[in-house]
Chains A and B, each alone.
Chain A
Amino acid sequence: MANVDMIGIRKAFGASVALDDFTLNIASGELVCLLGPSGCGKTTALRILAGFEKADRGEVRVEGRDLANEPPEKRLFGMVFQDYSLFPNMTARQNIDFGLKVQKKSATERTSIIDRMIEVTALQEHADKFPHQMSGGQKQRVALARAIATSPRVLLLDEPLSALDAKVRETLRDEIRRLQLEIGVTTVFVTHDQHEALAIADRVGVMSNGRLEQLAPPRELYENPANAFVAGFIGTVNRLAAIGRSDGRWDILGRTVPGNRPAHEFITDVAAIRPEQLAIDPVTDGGASVVSVSFLGPITRVIIEDVQYGRVFADIISADASGLAPGQSVRVRLRDDVGEIVLIGEGE
């Protein structure tokens, strides 16, 4: 258990800059997800933390101590990779034992740790199987057990669920979080899947082009994105023009509402409006028409072409959307319960 600080990290591979002035502070016992599209630098950040890559500039500190001269094998970090990385010549049990043997623990201690790891990851039936006899989910559970068996100071997970199918991914995701909370290990989880990140992280760091765009708890990230990139990357968002008023509020979609920053008269800004913040009225003179209606279970996604705002996505409770059909004339408005809007334009 340890707090981790990455300070002003820069890393370039030839001419391409993977990380630029990257700073990340992680509290002890916290689970931070690094989220971003491929090539955003999230895996590089993890590999620098693990010691597999050397930063061109900047510091990595664990409990305040600089790790610059510590090779990976001295850092006492646990790591789980996307492609399982189990040793094919060893059974699940022997895989878990590997790190314990390296640490020269006594045979009795090793056995008791292995037994506990097998129990917490529910691998009892598979303990003596070889990797090629196990499913992807089972293999990744062994990899997880192996990584935490050595009581690492920090647990690093590099897209651990990306190779698994949807159902297993969800179960294992929750299992990872449960275990992480139970042993309280500081954890960095790299993923490109926003659902994964939002579901399990204490804080999510959204990355693009080697920079940390925003680091915040999942809810804040969704409700109050720092900029256009974060707004667009987390969930679906409509970027709609808001017009400023002299009283500091904004005019948008027929309503006047306060924003996360005050308005001035005659300026326009871009507001990030979530599809679920919109309502649709079936009127003939609303200046908009339905393009498509997709039933998604509890909600229905409606795509609308609005004369003023262009293409707009709206998520409507399915019970309220039963009358909508493509071609129908409608009016789009901001729901009455939306108290404040988030502005993500360049501003002023």
Chain B
Amino acid sequence: MSMESVTALAPGHGDPAGPPPIDRGRRGVRPSSFIRWAFLIMVALYFVVPMLAMARFAFQNVPTALLTPEKIFTGWSMSGLWAALTDPQILNAAKTSVLLVVFAIILNLVLLVPLAIVTEVRSPQLRPFLTAFTLLPWVIPPIALVVGVAATFRATVPWFLASVFSLVPFYALWAMPFTYRALDAGLQAISARTLYEAARSMGASLGTIIFRVLLPNMRASMIAASGLTAAMVLGEFAFASLLLKTTLPTQMVTYERSDPRGGLALALFVMLLTALSLGLVVRSLRRRGLNVQTTGL
């Protein structure tokens, strides 16, 4: 027992004479809570109302001008969505997009996993620098990036931009801020540095530590990073459009021109599918005791 703990027995000693603590009222609605909920509901409406309107337009074959209360349950149909889903061009574009997702995830992880690990366990003083650096892709607008890259590569390796898979490096770069943050959060969550030091004190080499200790415990964050990359690639329009490639998003825009209802139905469907699969991934990880700590998931 120290002197301090004894003198601390006398209450109120040295207490600054501040105002009494605010009673966070136990009854009724607190003003701060009311504002919070009102704000939340407003934001929710801002997002949900357009989507509901979009869903109505996509699935109910009644022009908005003729929509009256008694017609609210008539004309609903999934045929537009079905037509879109069976359209061969859409299917092709979807296949391309799925491949792009896979390659972008692989490239991203191959580049960033070793970087994140080495930074965390060997030179943690570089973390703030990397956190800032990995945001750079979002500072440069896609148009500038594409024009710069196109000008350079068309002159040097023209075949590179000919393939639809020339989008992969762009997507990997574009997803870097998400991926790095997810991986970094994952390393923090497992106290990677302590695990690294514990393993080293037992004589393990860096390779053993990475493959037997760190990577198996980074599964959750790698899946989170992949999920975010997938969502991003499935919704990316600017790069593909600027480089004149046909991906699911660009093909959806083309399709919508010929069939606005089907196009919108498809857009909604893809959005729901993406959200659902992300949600399922996170749930399955949580059920296995793996905590996913990434903003947005």
A binds B: yes
**Which A residues are closer than 8 A to B by beta carbons?**
50, 52, 71-79, 81, 83, 85, 87-89, 98-99, 102-103, 130, 132, 143, 146-147, 150, 156, 232-233, 235-237, 292, 294, 301, 303, 313
Look across to chain B and name the residue whose beta carbon is closest to the beta carbon of A80.
Answer: B198
Asked whether A87 lies within 8 Å of B6 as measured between CB atoms, the reply is no
Known contacts A81-B197, A81-B198, A301-B6; decide if A89 and B217 are in contact (CB<8 Å): yes
Asked whether B194 lies within 8 Å of A85 as measured between CB atoms, the reply is yes
Shortest Cβ gap from A292 to chain B (Å)? 7
Known contacts A74-B203, A98-B199, A102-B202; decide if A294 and B217 are in contact (CB<8 Å): no
Kindly state the separation between the CA atoms of A313 and B2 in the bound complex, as whole angstroms.
11
Asked whether A303 lies within 8 Å of B6 as measured between CB atoms, the reply is yes
Known contacts A236-B6, A301-B6; decide if A83 and B201 are in contact (CB<8 Å): no
**Which B residues are closer than 8 A to A by beta carbons?**
1-3, 6, 9-10, 190-191, 194-195, 197-205, 208, 212-213, 216-217, 289
Give 6 nearest A-B pairs by CB, closest first. Answer: A99-B202, A79-B201, A85-B198, A89-B216, A85-B194, A102-B203
Known contacts A88-B217, A292-B9; decide if A83 and B194 are in contact (CB<8 Å): yes
Asked whether B217 lies within 8 Å of A150 as measured between CB atoms, the reply is no
Asked whether A87 lies within 8 Å of B217 as measured between CB atoms, the reply is yes
A-B pairs with beta carbons under 8 A, tally: 83
Asked whether B204 lies within 8 Å of A232 as measured between CB atoms, the reply is no
Look across to chain A and name the residue whose beta carbon is closest to the beta carbon of B216.
Answer: A89
Q: Is the interface of B mostly helix, strand, loop or mixed?
A: helix
Q: Is the interface of A mostly helix, strand, loop or mixed?
A: mixed
B201, B212, B216 interface centre (most CB from chain A within 10 Å): B201
- A89-B217, A98-B204, A292-B10 given; 9 more Cβ-contact pairs under 8 Å: A73-B205, A78-B202, A79-B197, A81-B198, A98-B212, A102-B203, A236-B2, A237-B3, A292-B9
Look across to chain A and name the residue whose beta carbon is closest to the beta carbon of B291.
Answer: A132
Asked whether B6 lies within 8 Å of A77 as measured between CB atoms, the reply is no
Asked whether A85 lies within 8 Å of B197 as measured between CB atoms, the reply is yes
Kindly state the separation between the CA atoms of A72 and B2 in the bound complex, as whole angstroms.
37
Residues of B within 8 A of A79 (CB): 197-198, 201
Shortest Cβ gap from B178 to chain A (Å)? 24
Known contacts A89-B216, A236-B6, A292-B9; decide if A146 and B194 are in contact (CB<8 Å): no
Residues of B within 8 A of A132 (CB): 289
Shortest Cβ gap from B141 to chain A (Å)? 39
Kindly state the separation between the CA atoms of A146 and B198 in the bound complex, as whole angstroms.
10
Look across to chain B and name the residue whose beta carbon is closest to the beta carbon of A50.
Answer: B201
Shortest Cβ gap from B205 to chain A (Å)? 7
Asked whether A236 lies within 8 Å of B1 as measured between CB atoms, the reply is yes
Look across to chain A and name the residue whose beta carbon is closest to the beta carbon of B215.
Answer: A89
Asked whether A150 lies within 8 Å of B202 as measured between CB atoms, the reply is yes
Residues of B within 8 A of A78 (CB): 201-202
Kindly state the separation between the CA atoms of A303 and B1 in the bound complex, as whole angstroms.
14
Known contacts A87-B217, A102-B203, A150-B202; decide if A236 and B197 are in contact (CB<8 Å): no
A-B contact pairs, 18 of them (CB 8 A): A72-B197, A75-B201, A79-B201, A85-B191, A85-B197, A98-B212, A99-B202, A99-B204, A103-B203, A132-B289, A143-B198, A147-B201, A147-B202, A232-B3, A236-B2, A236-B3, A236-B6, A303-B6
Known contacts A85-B194, A236-B3; decide if A77 and B204 are in contact (CB<8 Å): no
Asked whether A77 lies within 8 Å of B201 as measured between CB atoms, the reply is yes
Kindly state the separation between the CA atoms of A274 and B109 in the bound complex, as whole angstroms.
62
Kindly state the separation between the CA atoms of A297 and B213 in the bound complex, as whole angstroms.
49
